[in-house]
Amino acid sequence: MHITRKQFTIAALAAAALSGAWAQGAYPARTVAFVVPAAAGGTTDIAARMAAQALAPVLGQSVVVDNKGGGNGAIAAGIVKRAEPDGYTLLMQYSGFHVISPHLAKAPQWEQKDFQPIANVLSAPQIIVVREGLPVKTLQELIAYAKANPGRLNYASSGNGSLQHVTGAMLEQQGGIKMVHVPYKGTGPALQDLLGGQVDLTFGTAPPFMPHIAAGKLRVLAVTGKERLASLPDVPTTAEAGYPGVNATSWFALFAPAAVPKPVIDRLAADMKKVVEDPAFRKKAQEQGASADYLGPQQLGERVKADFSNWAGVIKSSKIQAE
């Protein structure tokens, strides 16, 4: 039977459509990995594990968490950037690494265009936490202590260029004080040294600190957001304490390699929406001092652009340099 060029073209298009439909229906066919740019124990890790556990039954496949801390997020970002763009290797990203660290990297290993946004999972303000033995109970007392003991206080962060680092620089600038910055490879290791008394204070989102605050092993002085936390109702904001310029909120979001097909991104975004907007997930986030804050691909992309621009100005005014 003779097949015309027109018939061949129609058949080819139909085959392609069927192939595309099959490919979309086939995802996911195996385990999905969330690569985390920090050590276990911090909010990025907590966000990843909460999301992975809740996403697995919705997605219909196992979701594992793979911690790859170091390089101010560059190690994890590099792994996901180079991964097969099939939707099985994703980046659970921390905002400080995504929109602050790139401004400080001397030799950038990735760019914004290497990733496409999927969904925001959690958002949380930073809190200011001090070790149990530090003789201060309020933010005003901390500033006074720092002025009376110049250069004696040190603060931990999850790395140079992290939001904790920038928050510390903002506090120095606003309070007219000077502290020693001690960078770590994630909030988990920083928290351990804070509990051990090796560092005096740190800044971070509340989830990993809450058990230790409740146990009296750490003291929280202030919340850097615009409103008090429901989980810490008696803790004032930095604005209430007289330092409105110290205002920092982190977000934790899922990204994919740039070439992942749109149907896969759409599937992941839709399933993450179900996860983040589930009442049980929202309650668990709130109990830990965070908020379940869903943004879809377009909204997350807009947030990335706005924050990338805004933090460039903060870094410049705070005179933060790459180390």
Q: In this predicted structure, what is the pLDDT of residue 160?
A: 76
Per-residue pLDDT tens for 181-217? 999 888 889 999 999 999 999 999 898 999 999 999 9
- Give me the pLDDT at residue 15, please: 42
Alpha carbon distance 135, 97 (integer Å): 32
Q: What is the pLDDT of residue 22?
A: 37
Q: Which residue has the higher pLDDT, 174 or 321?
A: 174
The answer to whether residue 3 scores a pLDDT higher than 80 is: no
Cα gap 158→150, rounded to integer Å? 23
Instruction: Please tell me the distance from the alpha carbon of residue 274 to that of residue 259, in angstroms, as a whole number.
Output: 24
3-state class of 199 per DSSP? coil
Over residues 19-60, the pLDDT tens digits come to: 444 344 589 999 999 999 988 888 899 999 999 999 999 999
Task: Give the H/E segment covering residue 235.
Answer: none
Rounded to two decimals, the pTM is 0.79
Nearest residue to 130 via CA among 102, 95, 168, 99: 168
166-173 average pLDDT score: 90
Average pLDDT, integer, range 140-149: 97
Which tokens is 310 given? 């805004």
Question: Per-residue confidence at 322, pLDDT binned at 50, 70, 90?
Answer: low
Q: What stretch of H or E contains 148?
A: helix 139-148
pLDDT band at residue 18 under the 50/70/90 scheme: very low
pLDDT the model gives residue 321: 67
pLDDT tens profile 56-112: 999 999 999 999 998 889 999 999 999 999 999 999 999 989 998 888 888 889 999
Given a cut of 90, is residue 297 above it in pLDDT? yes
Question: CA 88, CA 116: separation in Å to the nearest integer?
Answer: 14
Provide, rounded to the nearest whole percent, the portion of the chain with pLDDT above 70: 91
Instruction: Give pLDDT, residue 56.
Output: 98
pLDDT for res 10: 47
Q: Confidence band (pLDDT; 50, 70, 90) for 2?
A: low
> pLDDT at position 16, please?
44
Residue with token string 């099959």: 22
| 322/49: higher pLDDT | 49
Residue with tokens 């936490």: 129
pLDDT tens, 181-190?
Answer: 999 888 889 9
pLDDT, averaged across the chain: 89
The 10s digit of each residue's pLDDT in 235-291 is 999 999 999 988 888 899 999 999 999 999 999 999 999 999 999 999 999 988 889
